[in-house]
Structure 1
Amino acid sequence: MFSTVILFGIDGKRRDWMMNWQFNWFGWSYKLAIASTILQFIAGILSVYQGLNKYLLDMYDFIKEEQELEKRSTLKFPPLPHTSGQRNGSKTQLHQYM
């Protein structure tokens, strides 16, 4: 979008670039494109800063949330006794079909 706004701003009034150059004028839509390009540039800088800052990792305690989810889990089953041919430690109800 940035390159389009710059290109049209530079070449919009040239006689050899567009047909009917005398009717080409920068109206409200071009001004809106300039404003949206500036806002898009600011949003891009902010998202790069947010991604590089890794502030989400500092603000959100993943280990604490994982422990809380494990504590609230309803699919916990004790590990099965060791028998030949079966897997140990199944945490779902599907261990009876193995």
Structure 2
Amino acid sequence: MASRSLTVRWAAGLLTLGFLLVLVAFVAPTWLVTDGRLRNPTFIRLGLWEVCFQEFKHPRHWYDTVFSNCWWIFEEEYYIIHDILLPGFFVATQFFFTVAFTLCLIAIILIILFFKVKKNDDKYIMLLLTLGTLIVGAGFSGLISVITFGARGDGRDWMPNWEHNDHGWGFALGVIGVLLLFPSGILFLVEARVNRYKKLNEIHSREQSAYTLEERKVHYVSGHTEI
């Protein structure tokens, strides 16, 4: 780590922090929460994969089933309210945040390999480019997710008592984590560009040195021939 540039160390640090926040947000059950002002709210909280109700019934009264406690959002018992639990915008939120999380996980694995590669290795610049591309891609995917949920999550056409529902800390951590990915990815791409130009300059310098040496040999041989 010490042999890496300051740019790489900052990029790795931002990636690590961003990944940890994205990981916590990915499993957190608090993307949407009740504000606590209602005495007996039917909706308690919701994450990407878990939802908590308290004596919740289908709002259209199609079924008499009452839902209470916290359950996995794809629990078999919830199939009768999937039209409520899984609207299109929320499925999009789950999908894009999962893509972001997966790309971050791959980037974390690659950065472990990256710190084992020497600077003069042919894979060094390729790993920098791959890391930068993956992380920026994760950032854009995560950004789509949090913007979608931020715009629609506490809307009046979704969870009951919408006026008492707020975005929770899980969502906030997801936003911060996603935003940290952009500077991390950009720094990796900048470092790749810098190293690429350095390598090209080194190749050019070696070629110039080789050409000059060859030219001197030719002049030396020519001088002796004339004698």
Structure of larger gyration radius: 1
As a proportion of its length, which structure holds more strand? Answer: 2
Higher relative contact order (CA 8 A, sep 6+): 2
TM-score by length of 1: 0.47
Higher helix share: 2
TM-score by length of 2: 0.23
